Amino acid sequence: MAIAANIAGGRAGAVVELECLEQRAPIYVVTHDARVEETFTHLIEKGPPNRGRTDIQIRALLNFAYALSWNDRDSCVHALDEALRLSAGQSDPGAQALTHLRVLRAAHVGGGMECGGRAPR
If one counts every other C-beta atom within 10 angstroms of the C-beta of residue 51, the result is: 8
Mean pLDDT for the chain overall: 78
Specify the range with the lowest mean pLDDT, choosing from 28-32, 68-72, 75-79, 89-93: 68-72
**Structural domain count, the chain:** 1
- Judge whether residue 114 has pLDDT over 90: no
Q: Where are the alpha helices (DSSP H) in the chain?
A: 2-8, 10-30, 36-45, 53-68, 73-87, 93-112
Tell me the average pLDDT across 39-66.
79
Report which listed range, 46-60, 78-92, 106-120, is most confident: 78-92
Range of the domain at 82: 2-117
How high is the pLDDT of residue 111? Answer: 40
